[in-house]
Amino acid sequence: MKTTSDVTIYDVAKALNLSPSTVSRGLKDHPHIHTDTIKKIKAKAKEMGYRQNKLASSLRKKSTETIGVVVPRLNSYFMAAVIAGMEEITNQHGYGLIISQSQESSRKETACVSTLFNSRVHGLLVSLAYDTENVDHFNQIIRKNIPVVFFDRVFDCPGCMGVMIDNFKAGYELTSHLISQGCRRIMHLSGNLLRNVYSGRFEGYRQALADHGIAFDDELLITGDLGSQSGIEAARAALNMKNRPDGIFTANDTSAVEVIYELQKSGIRVPDDIAVAGFNNEPVSRVIQPCLTTVDYPAREIGRLAASSLINILKDKGSTSLSAIIVKHELIIRESSLRKKVPGTIKT
């Protein structure tokens, strides 16, 4: 007697007195199969415990119904939200995800891309590692007409698409807000300026200073990996300056929270002595005291758009007219930067 795992389309076809090819097409919602017949096929297949052998199907087609994802780190609220958005879309279209992480290493990123290529993925969704200086390791993928969509940390290359926010504008707005609160000596903690997200935020910061008649000071630019230790070290650097900053803008919320903790341990009042602002609007930004001013970076929407763009390209190889999609961000003003208490300005 057959177990449910052994049930094939031939068994389903015999039970319904149909041809195996009709059952196969019905299970795939083929337009040439009548709707009522499709319903009968699917109902009988479910009743009999039929399961599609995706491995065999993949071997026949020499491809898999999967999309590869390369992220810098998985232990990130932002990336977890992005991936959730991607899965929401890919599940709707019958694609699975193979997720890998570069651990902020270009070398490991290259290995991830090679592994995914050899796994015969249909396309790639990629956020670049800190130290990636070129995208030569994607050449083999692109030559095979496998579409690549970059998200968040993007790279401008022929035939590729990027999904991101306007980091320059967000950095400009956040810095301008700090200036509006009376800050004139603003420190900026940035990630690796090779990456568009951090270079954009830095350039926005610098332009806002210039537009408000404030000279840029090299001493006030610090770069790091934006982890907890980076925030601690930035706060200590600020405390050790002869002329301390009166505002600190960090390129993510994780480091901003550590900045606040470290400043408070040293008796600094936030925002009265030093105003602090972060970036990404992660949950921790709402529980730190004072609550953190930040930029809402819609991670889940980024994931949805990146996945939708890739699937649209897969369905129509010619639909690559867009090279970039800019997603709307929002400045979220909270107590950590409000030195001037203006009613109605705080957002939660």
**pTM of the complete model:** 0.80
pLDDT in tens, 225-245: 999 999 999 999 999 999 999
Catalogue all structural domains in the chain, each as residue range(s) with its CATH number. 4-52 (1.10.260.40), 63-165+299-328 (3.40.50.2300), 167-297+331-337 (3.40.50.2300)
Residues across the chain: 348
DSSP-derived pairing of the beta strands 148-151 and 161-165: parallel
* pLDDT at residue 157, rounded to an integer: 77
Q: What are phi and psi of 82, to 5 degrees?
A: -60, -50
Element (H, E) at 36: helix 35-48
Beta-carbon contacts of 31 under 8 Å, excluding residues fewer than 6 positions away, are none
* pLDDT at residue 310, rounded to an integer: 94
pLDDT in tens, 48-77: 888 766 545 554 555 458 999 999 999 889
Token code pair at residue 262: 């470290």
* pLDDT at residue 168, rounded to an integer: 98
Token code pair at residue 136: 């030569």
Query: Which residues is 243 bridged to in the sheet?
Result: none
Please report, to the nearest 10 degrees, the dihedral formed by the alpha carbons of residues 236, 237, 241, 245 taken in order: -90
* pLDDT at residue 104, rounded to an integer: 93
How many Cβ atoms from other residues are within 10 Å of residue 121's Cβ? 24
Point out the residues of the chain with pLDDT beneath 70. 1-5, 52-64, 317-322, 341-348
Dist CA 32 CA 25 (whole Å): 8
Dist CA 73 CA 100 (whole Å): 9
Count Cβ atoms within 10 A of the Cβ of residue 267 and give its class: 0-12 exposed, 13-18 middle, 19 or more buried. Answer: exposed
Dist CA 170 CA 324 (whole Å): 17
* pLDDT at residue 20, rounded to an integer: 86
Closest CA to 148 of 129, 125, 115, 127: 125
How many Cβ atoms from other residues are within 10 Å of residue 4's Cβ? 9
Token code pair at residue 48: 């009999």
SS (H, E, C) 245-285: CCEEEECCHHHHHHHHHHHHHCCCCCCCCCEEECCECCHHH
Dist CA 269 CA 6 (whole Å): 69
Radius of gyration, alpha carbons of the chain: 25
Residue 293 is classified by DSSP as B
3-state secondary structure of 287: coil
Q: What are phi and psi of 164, to 5 degrees?
A: -160, 180
How many Cβ atoms from other residues are within 10 Å of residue 344's Cβ? 5
Residue with tokens 């008649």: 213
* pLDDT at residue 140, rounded to an integer: 85
Closest CA to 347 of 248, 281, 254, 300: 281
Token code pair at residue 248: 């600190």
